[in-house]
A and B are shown apart, each in its own frame.
Chain A
Amino acid sequence: EAGVAQSPRYKIIEKRQSVAFWCNPISGHATLYWYQQILGQGPKLLIQFQNNGVVDDSQLPKDRFSAERLKGVDSTLKIQPAKLEDSAVYLCASSLIVRDEQFFGPGTRLTVL
């Protein structure tokens, strides 16, 4: 069974530029999560989707971050404009609706200069 796929793996941008990350969840997983993990901290939830609807985006900085999950499968997370403090690893995870276990993709390491 294929795992969660993410791209790109690494991205370096300058502040005020925009960036987008892509995630393809495990087949059949209706729930998809985006997390931000800053060095030395645990992952912090940004947004949770179930199918193509948003369950919770209360921790998403909506002035600069946006996310969508068209057709209830792939998802993209965008940052525009980026700030220095956005430097982090962005993790995507997916799960079955009826299960607590989440399975993570390899993440995208974003460096904002």
Chain B
Amino acid sequence: EDKVVQSPLSLVVHEGDTVTLNCSYEVTNFRSLLWYKQEKKAPTFLFMLTSSGIEKKSGRLSSILDKKELSSILNITATQTGDSAIYLCAPSGSARQLTFGSGTQLTVLP
């Protein structure tokens, strides 16, 4: 059975801090790993990673995949209150199905 573990489960930081979110996975027929941000209801797409060791960046967010260790990290630098959300990791496997972790609840205090 496919499995995804995210850590920490929750994190409280102050504006300006840097955070690192972790994701480890065991997925049959791994294709890629996706990160989503969930505020209120709908998850919104952040990154898709397919190759090990290649960092993807979008503004203050960056992410990298380690296929050997079956893991990925999501970094957020200079955090802002608007970064407060649940961050979901989801590897894509057979039939391009996503298996979601339980997420990391990030709270950024002013």
Residues of A within 8 A of B (CB): 31, 33, 40-45, 48, 55-56, 89, 91, 95, 99-107, 109
Size category of the binding interface on chain B: 20 to 34
Task: Say whether chain A's binding surface is mostly helix, strand, loop, or mixed.
Answer: strand
Bound together, the chains give a CA A40 to CA B9 distance in angstroms of 10
The answer to whether B61 has its CB under 8 Å from any CB of chain A is: no
Query: Which of these, A40, A95, A106, contacts B102 with CB under 8 Å?
Result: A40
The verdict on A106 contacting B95 (CB below 8 Å), with A40-B102, A42-B100 known, is: no
| Contact (Cβ within 8 A) B48 A104 | no
The answer to whether B107 has its CB under 8 Å from any CB of chain A is: no
Q: Mark B9-53, 1 if CB is under 8 A from A, else 0.
A: 000000000000000000000011010100001111100100000
| Contact (Cβ within 8 A) A42 B103 | yes
The answer to whether B109 has its CB under 8 Å from any CB of chain A is: no
* Complex contacts, B108 vs chain A, CB 8 Å: none
For residue A96, which residue of chain B has the nearest CB?
A: B96
Closest 10 CB pairs of A and B: A42-B100, A100-B92, A107-B41, A104-B42, A100-B32, A106-B42, A43-B100, A104-B43, A100-B96, A42-B102
* Complex contacts, A105 vs chain B, CB 8 Å: 42
The verdict on A91 contacting B102 (CB below 8 Å), with A42-B4, A45-B97, A100-B32 known, is: no
